[in-house]
Structure 1
């Protein structure tokens, strides 16, 4: 295997301790009702993502997770784009699909239907090779609802 390919493949491996730590933050964020505490957890997750990135472990999972807990689409989009940029390896297809779909949802909420459709179609095209039927269904529903909205 050429060195470049090996580096890309190993880059997509997610360390167990990173996954567990991000999931701890996700659990805290998902269950937090107090705004102050939510933002404290969010900022701790953001700091963790930055630390991992600076340490040479710039994994799309980090930035997609941070984007998922960002409450403002204008702030979430650059995080998802960063995640998408980090998901360039051949074995990162699942990340690219979910990130593109998240971008499509953000753009739809912002009223940017052309960009929403563009990202949803890209997600749908790449999702055809995935076994994640639920994600594929969600993307299809998204595209169908966008089509039906444009007929009014």
Structure 2
């Protein structure tokens, strides 16, 4: 992953968190727009485009139904680069949205996909979260 891109996304995520914690909607919107612009500008650049920017954008989206297609886009990019870390975390986020919206079959499908990918990485916390979700869905 491009280090410059990662640092930029991380900085924007930090600023988004600070704005949210302070209840500063104007600053939140400003940073969210900056992140969205970054995603849009990098989307067709094979070097700069990365699922981290799209997953972060979706993470900070206020509307779950708007976040879902962003997560799906992020998942597609994660699959392109065969990144099990991103596939697992993004699929988990998608499963949570489907669960919240009462779409149990889709939630279960996404949670199982997250679980398959999580087994290939060393993130015990994510694996535990996925297992908990799977237990609530089955």
Instruction: Tell whether the structures are fold-level matches, with TM greater than 0.5.
Output: yes
Task: Kindly report the root-mean-square deviation, in angstroms, between the aligned alpha carbons of the 2 structures.
Answer: 1.3
Highest Rg: 1 or 2? 1
Aligned counterpart, 1:21:
8
The count of residues paired between Structure 1 and Structure 2 equals 134
Would you say 1:55 and 2:45 are equivalent positions?
A: yes
Please report the TM-score for the alignment, with normalisation by the length of structure 2.
0.91
Question: 1:90 deviation in Å?
Answer: 5.7
5 Å matches for 1:40-119? 40-56=30-46, 57-89=48-80, 91-119=82-110
CA distance in 2, matches of 1:59, 1:42: 17
Q: Which runs of 5+ in 2 are unaligned?
A: none
In 2: Cα distance, 1:116 partner to 1:87 partner = 19
Match of 1:37 in 2: 27
Alignment partners' CA distance in 2, 1:90 and 1:20: 20
Q: Give the distance between the partners of 1:89 and 1:55, measured in 2 at CA.
A: 14
Task: State the Cα deviation string for residues 20-41 of structure 1 (Å, max 9, x = none).
Answer: 0001110011111211221111
Change in 2 beyond 3 A, CA 1:129/1:18: same
Q: Write out the 4+ residue segments of structure 1 that deviate beyond 3 Å after TM superposition.
A: none
TM-score (norm 1): 0.83
Corresponding position of 2:129: 138
Residues of 1 paired with 2:135 and 2:32: CA distance? Answer: 33
| Structure 1 residues not aligned, in runs of 5+ | 1-13, 148-152
